């Protein structure tokens, strides 16, 4: 049946990877008509299922007939079961040269995504924000780093926010 692959089994990307015992699975986005992707990397999970702390995921994207479209692309919205479907590996992989899952470029791509998400330590100021005051931190424009479990502000262009953070006792 045409479009049968679009039916949801209720799992998100993280659950698909976990159920498969790791990366290397093939997926399609429900909005894709002519593409397929192989999940080649996932950053370290930092939380429990079903979202696992929202680790970053990278994929190699191909046309349905095996022409590479994008390498080490960031997979968006991996936590939603509505967007992605696990599919069978395409028949053309028997004749294709696929990326090895231990390729160092995968780890490099994931590191860039994780560091972009958290902000590099040189370009940010970590704040000391009690949970009860998190909304005040948000109002300043502070961002939450789920890996380091801390609120932070970028160092550039936020002098007023930094001064306000100091006034609120979030900075010493």
Is 137 or 29 the better-scoring residue by pLDDT?
A: 29
In a domain, 99, yes or no: yes
- The answer on 125 and 112 residing in a single domain is no
- The answer on 29 and 93 residing in a single domain is yes
In a domain, 172, yes or no: no
State whether residue 76 is helix, strand or coil.
coil
CA–CA gap between residue 100 and residue 78 (Å, rounded): 22
Question: How many structural domains comprise the chain?
Answer: 2
Residue 157 domain boundaries? 119-167
CA–CA gap between residue 78 and residue 82 (Å, rounded): 10
- The answer on 48 and 25 residing in a single domain is yes
pLDDT digits (tens, 9 = 90+) for 37-89: 999 999 999 899 999 999 999 999 999 999 999 999 999 888 888 999 999 99
Q: How confident is the model at residue 148 (pLDDT cuts 50, 70, 90)?
A: confident
Four-CA torsion 54, 58, 61, 64, nearest 10 degrees: -50
- The answer on 9 and 91 residing in a single domain is yes
Q: What is the mean pLDDT of the chain?
A: 87
Is 17 or 165 the better-scoring residue by pLDDT?
A: 17
Shortest CA distance to 107 belongs to which of 69, 72, 61? 72
């Amino acid at each position: 049946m045409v479009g049968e692959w679009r039916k949801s089994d209720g799992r998100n990307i993280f659950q698909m990877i976990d159920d498969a015992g790791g990366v290397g699975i093939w997926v399609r986005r429900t909005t894709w008509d002519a593409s397929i992707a192989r999940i080649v990397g996932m950053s370290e999970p930092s939380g429990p299922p079903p979202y696992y702390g929202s680790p970053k995921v990278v994929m190699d994207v191909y046309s349905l007939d095996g022409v590479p479209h994008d390498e080490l692309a960031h997979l968006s919205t991996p936590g939603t079961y509505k967007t992605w479907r696990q599919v069978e590996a395409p028949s053309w992989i028997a004749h294709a040269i696929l990326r090895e899952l231990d390729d160092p470029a995968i780890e490099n791509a994931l590191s860039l995504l994780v560091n972009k998400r958290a902000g590099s330590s040189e370009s940010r100021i970590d704040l000391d924000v009690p949970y009860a005051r998190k909304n005040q931190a948000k109002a300043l424009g502070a961002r939450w780093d789920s890996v380091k479990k801390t609120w932070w502000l970028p160092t550039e262009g936020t002098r007023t926010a930094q001064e306000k953070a100091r006034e609120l006792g979030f900075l010493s």
